Structure 1
Amino acid sequence: MDLNKQGIQYMQEGKYEEAAKCFSEAIEENPNEAIYYTNFGNLLSAVGDNERAIAFYQKAIELDDKMGTAYYGIGNAFFNKEDFVKAKDFFEKALKKGLDNSDTYFMLGMTLIQLGQSRLALPYMQRATELNDTDVDANFQYGLCLAGESMIDEAIEVFLKVTTLDANHSDAFYNLGVAYAGYKDDNHKALEMFNKALDIQPDHILAGNGKKIVEDALKN
């Protein structure tokens, strides 16, 4: 197995020191190979060293300005540093460089949400779910975007899908409760959803408050 593949395997196994040694040796042997710098950047990101990770990604881009994974890596590093404006820029560049996958669309959508632009995030979250329809996080965030734009019927459909993919997703059940109570005027269904959320997570404060509100409404 070559050094690059060995390093990736070590990373997947959580053996970061061994992975670093492999990537370092690979770079020494082939200092003009962009993918090795990208993978070292991925390793540094995995251990939370975002500043050094960015430097390795930038070196990769200097060697190959078409390497979409390097732009994506920088985007992730800036996202982790909560510099969402720069993160957005690099995720967009990753897409332009051909990194057309679910993760890129998802992270660009998440960045726009962090920037308070959920309407702009909506099509990216939708595309993320189209490319990977079993991604629980992408579907949940897509549901939140739909709800935020008052597309409640569509949001309910997506939240129900989330609960099918993950039967223990308390936040999906909570949001279903909100949708049924606040928009569908179905307090019985809302109570069922809030109860499911609380069965999964008894300390879910928002679900507890929602349950109390609909129980009071049903009594009256």
Structure 2
Amino acid sequence: MPIMPKHSTNLVKFSKGQDRQDESVAKFERAAALAPDDPGMHTDLGAALRTRGQITEAIGRYEHALSIDPEFGLAYYSLGNALSEYGKIAEAEEAYQQAVQRLPDDASAFNNLGHVLIELGRKAEAETALRTAIEIDPHRASAHFNLHAVVYRDDDLDPAIASLEAALATSTDDGKSQFFHAMCLKQKGDKDAAIASFDKVPLDDMDTIIGLTAGTMLCARSNKTPQSEYSARARKPTRMRKTRRQSTG
């Protein structure tokens, strides 16, 4: 009788090399074949396929995992990530809603739900989700960053600045947060503080910042704020940091 391998969803560190990605997919295909009724195995395989860029195949695996166990929260979370990456934002929101019901203590799920709600223009709901993520994990920089896009107002920049400073307090090398922090200070009229903030943008992020600067100029021409233009692509969905084993019973 074969030994059933234990899965370690989202703790597997997939190599960026194509050979290692192929190896990972093959490994989890074998694991899923050995344990066809384990939703975690199919979720792992979906993660491997997504890493290799096979988003539609990954979505199929997550959906198969849910057909085995409709209460498997990690599959909903992973499905939401894949759907969001695929541009199916409304469907991603539905998956994340299912995920947070089953993973009420997971900051990543609430953060990603908040992210897609911003894209859907439902800022009040997004704020609730993001504040829940921050309550669960006050050190989650991406949740603070996403929150700044929700609380940003032309006539009161302090809440957005505070959210960005909270993001920077937990992730000092966050070039996007640093850039928007500088932009908010500039818009507020604090030129010296804005320059000092911009000087802290990591050099490794300068290509991104150049793109954001160009986007900011386009926003200015169209009377949009850089925050409103950027909020829809503020953060890619984050992955869970902890393994979550759930019973199929």
Which letter does structure 1 place at the counterpart of 2:101? K
Tell me the SS of whatever aligns to 2:6.
helix
SS of the equivalent of 1:4 reads coil
Report what 1:216 is aligned to.
Answer: none
Residues 72, 104 of structure 1: 8 Å contact kept: yes
Match of 1:4 in 2: 6
Structure 1 counterpart of 2:172: 167
C-alpha distance in structure 1 between counterparts of 2:80 and 2:131, whole Å: 20
Q: How does 1:172-187 map to 2 (within 5 A)?
A: 172-183=177-188, 185-187=189-191
CA distance in 2, matches of 1:145, 1:179: 14
Deviation at 1:91, TM superposition (A): 0.6
Q: Which moves more between the two structures, 111-120 or 141-150?
A: 141-150
Equivalent-residue separation in structure 1 for 2:184 and 2:163 (angstroms): 12
Unpaired runs of 5+ in structure 2? Answer: 218-249
In terms of fraction of residues, the more helix-rich structure is 1
Confirm or deny: 8 A CA contact 2:4 2:34 kept in the other structure: no
User: Compared with structure 1, are the counterparts of its residues 156 and 85 closer, same or farther at alpha carbon in structure 2 (3 Å cutoff)?
Assistant: same
The alpha-carbon distance between structure 1 residues 129 and 151, as it changes in their structure 2 partners (threshold 3 A), is farther
> Which of structures 1 and 2 has the larger relative contact order (alpha carbons within 8 angstroms, sep 6+)?
2
Aligned amino acid, residue 75 of structure 2: A
Q: 1:137 aligns with which of 137, 142, 163?
A: 142
Q: Does 1:114 align with 2:115?
A: no
Matched, 1:78 2:83: yes
Query: Which stretch has the larger CA shift, 130-139 or 170-179?
Result: 170-179
- Asked which structure has the greater CA Rg, the reply is 1
1:1-220 correspondence runs (5 A): 3-5=5-7, 11-14=12-15, 15-98=20-103, 100-148=105-153, 152-183=157-188, 185-197=189-201, 204=209, 206=213
Q: Deviations over 1:43-94 (max 9, x none)?
A: 1122121111111111111111100111112111110111101010111011
Q: What is the SS of the residue equivalent to 1:76?
A: helix
> TM-score, normalization: structure 2?
0.69
Instruction: Report the CA distance shift for 1:197/1:59 in structure 2 as closer, same or farther (over 3 A).
Output: closer
Tell me how far apart the structure 2 counterparts of residues 153 and 70 of structure 1 sit (CA, whole Å). 38
Aligned identity (percent) is 21
| Aligned-CA RMSD value | 3.1
Q: Which stretch shifts more, 172-181 or 156-165?
A: 172-181
CA-CA distance at 1:166 after TM superposition? 3.1
Q: Is the 8 A contact 1:4 1:22 kept in 2?
A: no
TM-score normalized by the length of structure 1:
0.77
